[in-house]
Amino acid sequence: MMSYRSAMRHQNVVDDCQRVSCNKDSSSAYSEALSGRCVIVKEIVLGCRIEWSDPDMPPMYDQTWCVYLRQQEGNASMEKYVRRVTFRMSPRLPMRLQVADSAPFEITDVLVSDFPIEMQVEYTDPKMTATSYVFPPPRLAGRTPEETTDKMIFVNPSADMRLSLTASSSPATLAVATGASSSASSLPSNSRGAKKGLLAGLDVKKAAKPKKSGMAAKRFNIR
């Protein structure tokens, strides 16, 4: 479980990453239905690898790199909730951009001094704010991919976005940063069942009232 306050600690301005995506539509019916904040965390992987296309290529040529962003679970698809990823290839050339708008979210380019690379992630729900990540320069230019783990944190996602996040893979971390009342609201099936039970109890009480009035009338007739 992760509270809203704990999620905000990942909002680190030191490394220029914007890891928290918030719902801009604060007046939505779904947000109002929750008495607290719903926080969903997805574990992601940022990585790069060298593309070995031609073994006879002279070493003077620059290497071709593949830079990618994926979900930590091996076979999980991010396409259900990620609309596109924009790769800013070089801090020195801010207009040099490449866009991946379908899975797998990766680009291939000749990269030498273009690291670190900034990745901006936009989501299928336009109400969710974009997040950004920075991939540092690789330490070794070998055949083994270099990867680093990070997080996507969603605060008060809409009902459709929440369904996409929870159905896209195995168990995402879900937390509601309130007390017991909001915990019950995060489980719609149970809360509905409890509501039905409460209504049933009210019906029983209503049905019992005529019986009490009849007993009072009977006592009056005896007297």
Residues 131 and 193 in one domain: no
pTM value > 0.75: no
Residues 165 and 146 in one domain: yes
Report the b/e string of 53-64 with b at 16+ CB within 10 A: eeeeeeeeeeee
For the ranges 19-33, 115-129, 140-154, 157-171, the lowest mean pLDDT is seen at 19-33
For 55, the 3-state DSSP assignment is coil
Is the same domain home to 70 and 176?
A: yes
pLDDT score of 110: 79
Domain count, the chain: 2
Same structural domain for residues 43 and 145? yes
- Greatest CA span in the chain, whole angstroms? 115
- What token pair was written down for 178? 């309130």
Contact (Cβ atoms closer than 8 angstroms) between residue 107 and residue 142: no
Residue-by-residue DSSP string for 117-173: EEEEEEESSTTBPPEEEEEPPPS--SSSPEEEEEEEEEES--HHHHHHHHHSSS--E
Q: Are residues 219 and 143 in the same domain?
A: no
Any idea which residue has 């380019």 for tokens?
109
What contacts 193, CB < 8 A, 6 or more positions away? none
**Per residue in 97-142, pLDDT tens?**
999 999 899 998 877 666 788 999 999 999 999 999 998 877 766 6
Other CB atoms within 10 Å distance of the CB of residue 23: 20
Over range 43-56, report the average pLDDT.
81
Residues 164 and 219 occupy one common structural domain: no
Residue 45 shares a structural domain with residue 102: yes
**56: which DSSP letter?**
T
Non-local (6+) Cβ contacts of 15 within 8 A are 134
Task: Please indicate, yes or no, whether residues 98 and 117 belong to a single structural domain of this protein.
Answer: yes
Does one domain contain both 167 and 115? yes
Full residue range of the structural domain in which residue 211 is found: 187-223
State both tokens at 110: 């000749």
Work out the pLDDT band at 51, boundaries 50, 70, 90.
confident
Cis peptide before 136 (omega within 30 of 0): no
Highest mean pLDDT, choosing among 27-31, 100-104, 168-172: 100-104
Both 157 and 93 in a single domain? yes
CATH number of domain containing 139:
2.60.40.1970
33 and 105 together in one domain: yes
Residues 57 and 76 in one domain: yes
Average model confidence (pLDDT) across the chain: 71
